[in-house]
Structure 1
Amino acid sequence: MQSKAQIDQVLRQKSDAREIPGVVAIAANSKEVIYQGAFGKRDLSKDDAMTPDSVFWIASMTKAITGAAAMQLVEQGKLSLDAPIGKVLPDLAAPQVLEGFDANGEPVLRPASNPITLRHLMTHTAGFCYNMWNGDMVQYLEKTGLPAVTTCKNDALKLPLMTDPGTRWEYGINLDYVGKAVEAVSGKRLDAYLRDHLFTPLGMTDTGFKIGEAQRKRLVAMHGREPDGSLAPIPFELEQDPEFHMGGGGLYGTAGDYIKFTQMILNKGRGNGNQLLKPETVAMMGQNHIGELTMTRMTSAVAFATNDVDLYPDMVKKWGLSFLITTAQTPEGRSPGSLAWAGLANTYFWIDPARDVAGVILMQVLPFADQKCLEAFAGFERGVYAGLDAAGQKAA
Structure 2
Amino acid sequence: MSTFEEQAAKAVESGESPGIVVIAKDKHGKLNYSKTFSRNGGTAYKEDSVLAVASMSKLITSVAAAQLVEKGLVTLDEDLSPLLPSLAKLEILTGFADDGTPITRKRKNPITLRQLLTHSSGTAYGFFDPLLARYVEWKKPRPDAGTVDEAFDLPLMFEPGEGFMYSTGIDRAGQLVEKLTGQSLEEYMKQNIWEPLGMTSTTFSPREHPDIQARQVPMSFRNSDKGVVVETGEQGWFEKGLKEPFGGQGIYTTMPDYMKLLHSLLVDDEKVLKKETAAMFFQPQLSPASKESLLKLMRGLEWAIGEFPQTDEYDWSLGGILIDGDKHEFRRKNTMIWSGAANTFWFIDRTAGVCGVFGTQIMPTFDAKSKSLIAAFEEDVYRRAGKL
TM over 0.5: yes
Query: Measured at CA, do residues 94 and 249 of structure 1 come closer, stay the same or move farther in structure 2, by a change above 3 Å?
Result: same
- Listed one character per residue, the Cα deviations across residues 345-392 of structure 1 (whole Å, up to 9, x for unaligned) are 1000000000111000011111212111111111111111111227x9
Q: TM-score, normalised by structure 2?
A: 0.90
Query: Measured at CA, do residues 252 and 324 of structure 1 come closer, stay the same or move farther in structure 2, by a change above 3 Å?
Result: same
How far apart, in 2, do the equivalents of 1:161 and 1:309 lie? Answer: 28
* Match of residue 232 from structure 1: 230
How far apart, in 1, do the equivalents of 2:304 and 2:384 lie? Answer: 31
Match status 1:193 vs 2:184: no
* Match of residue 256 from structure 1: 256
Q: Which of 160, 163, 167 is the equivalent residue of 2:162? A: 167
Query: Measured at CA, do residues 148 and 387 of structure 1 come closer, stay the same or move farther in structure 2, by a change above 3 Å?
Result: farther
* Match of residue 34 from structure 1: 32
Map 1:40-59; keep pairs closer than 5 Å. Answer: 40-41=38-39, 46-59=41-54
Count the aligned residue pairs.
Answer: 376
* Match of residue 137 from structure 2: 142
Conserved? CA contact 1:134–1:300, under 8 Å: no
Code of the residue aligned with 1:176 in structure 2: it is: D
How far apart, in 1, do the equivalents of 2:304 and 2:66 lie? Answer: 32
> Deviation of residue 267 (structure 1)?
2.1
How far apart, in 2, do the equivalents of 1:167 and 1:283 lie? Answer: 24
Conserved? CA contact 2:320–2:338, under 8 Å: yes
Query: Measured at CA, do residues 62 and 149 of structure 1 come closer, stay the same or move farther in structure 2, by a change above 3 Å?
Result: farther
How far apart, in 2, do the equivalents of 1:135 and 1:110 lie? Answer: 18
How far apart, in 2, do the equivalents of 1:359 and 1:387 lie? Answer: 12
Conserved? CA contact 2:122–2:156, under 8 Å: yes
Map 1:53-132; keep pairs closer than 5 Å. Answer: 53-132=48-127
Match status 1:318 vs 2:318: no
> Deviation of residue 150 (structure 1)?
8.2
Code of the residue aligned with 1:254 in structure 2: it is: T
- Listed one character per residue, the Cα deviations across residues 123-159 of structure 1 (whole Å, up to 9, x for unaligned) are 0000111122112222212211224798445311211
Query: Measured at CA, do residues 349 and 307 of structure 1 come closer, stay the same or move farther in structure 2, by a change above 3 Å?
Result: closer
- Unpaired runs of at least 5, structure 2: none
How far apart, in 1, do the equivalents of 2:199 and 2:335 lie? Answer: 23
> Deviation of residue 312 (structure 1)?
2.2
Conserved? CA contact 2:26–2:385, under 8 Å: no
- Listed one character per residue, the Cα deviations across residues 72-102 of structure 1 (whole Å, up to 9, x for unaligned) are 1101110111110112112233330011111
> Deviation of residue 280 (structure 1)?
0.6
- Unpaired runs of at least 5, structure 1: none
Aligned residues: CA RMSD? 2.5
Structure 2 residue matching 1:86: 3-state secondary structure = coil
Structure 2 residue matching 1:39: 3-state secondary structure = strand
How far apart, in 1, do the equivalents of 2:158 and 2:175 lie? Answer: 22
> Deviation of residue 53 (structure 1)?
1.1
Conserved? CA contact 1:332–1:381, under 8 Å: no
How far apart, in 2, do the equivalents of 1:149 and 1:314 lie? Answer: 42
* Match of residue 279 from structure 1: 275
How far apart, in 2, do the equivalents of 1:232 and 1:180 lie? Answer: 35
Code of the residue aligned with 2:259 in structure 1: it is: I
Query: Measured at CA, do residues 310 and 127 of structure 1 come closer, stay the same or move farther in structure 2, by a change above 3 Å?
Result: farther
Conserved? CA contact 2:144–2:241, under 8 Å: no
Q: TM-score, normalised by structure 1?
A: 0.88
Q: Which of 359, 362, 366 is the equivalent residue of 2:363? A: 366
Q: Which of 167, 170, 173 is the equivalent residue of 1:178? A: 173
